[in-house]
Amino acid sequence: MMRSESRALQLNDDGQLKHFLTLDGLDKTILTEILDRADSFLTMGEQSVKKVPLLRGKTVVNLFFENSTRTRTTFELAAKRLSADVINLNIETSATSKGESLLDTLQNLQAMQSDMFVVRHSDSGAAHFIAEHCTPNVAIINAGDGRHAHPTQAMLDMLTIRRHKGQFEGLKVAIVGDILHSRVARSQLQALTTLGVDEVRLVGPKTLVPGFFSEMGAKICHDLEAGLKDVDVVVMLRLQKERMQGALLPSESEFYRLYGLTEESLSWAKPDAIVMHPGPINRGVEISSEVADGGHSVILNQVTNGIAVRMAVMSMAMSGQLQKAETDQGSEGEK
């Protein structure tokens, strides 16, 4: 899908978010608005009543065709803090496993007057497909699709970086590991370049960091020391073993020896560098426990920030859908 088509699918006529499918095609203004709104939600976790009525009376369906307890839980918590009603659909026991098509399932859910689908799917482009085929008044949030995109994960990472570093300009960021199979890395790269970081380095073996990523604005590094030299942010990725085909790695121990983040290899980064990981962590494969639990790690901050970012995206998309509906009704009335 072209950037212009992606933008048109995600934004209403006033340029407000109505779906959140990918960061491709979204500009700095929209991404900054998401971060600013998420910032305003962060303090809610400290309050005795952790709810606002922005989605009161709305029904959010977590439509997960691929397991992810943490992502589903944070989306559920975000929706409930916005006062929405939440349905968690267990796809393994639903009619889709009995031969019912995805479109049939969507039509049944739409008949229940659902207002938002949070979709996670192993096929790239699944969230776009659903957005193109669902009724116009349902907002679609992509919670990860194949190797394609994971936009809310990227935005919670951006919020984490901004809260620790203050700004994006001038920063050097290293993303280390299985870039080839990572939807997180693709979305992070799009977000970082849009928000104006100085340099993004993609670090890993040639089998997992192909050269074509340089066309997306990244610097490719196959040596860990060169990749981490003087960076401000280190993002370690989980080895996507379930998405690998063929012998792309000699062994996990060999990967850790060459590309694992240890206290020694972290010393190549700036002294105040922060360490991030989208989770779940494979300790002793991508990162040592000393680093994961150490003073540079902001991994638990990412989890907290994830709830705020998902609240921001869901509230913005619902607001954009409501404004679109009002505009459509006005147009019908003028006829």
Binding annotation = 70-71, 98, 120, 150, 153, 183, 238, 279-280
Dihedral (CA of 236, 310, 313, 123) sign: positive
Q: Return d(Cα 281, Cα 285) in angstroms, integer.
A: 9
How many secondary structure helices (H) and strands (E) does the chain include? 12, 9
Residue 332 CA: distances (Å) to CA of 182, 323, 326, 327, 335: 44, 14, 10, 9, 5
The answer to whether residues 299 and 276 touch, using CB atoms and an 8 Å cutoff, is yes
CA 305 to chain centroid, in Å, comes to: 12
DSSP H helical ranges for the chain: 3-10, 28-42, 69-81, 102-111, 126-133, 151-165, 183-195, 224-228, 252-259, 263-266, 289-292, 299-334
Of 272, 279, 194, residue with least CA distance to 235 = 279
Extract the annotated binding site for L-aspartate: 98, 183, 238
Q: Provide φ and ψ at 122, rounded to 5°.
A: -80, -15
Specify binding-site residues for carbamoyl phosphate.
70-71, 120, 150, 153, 279-280
Picking from 324, 262, 248, the residue whose alpha carbon sits closest to that of residue 297 is 262
Residue linked to tokens 């679109």: 324
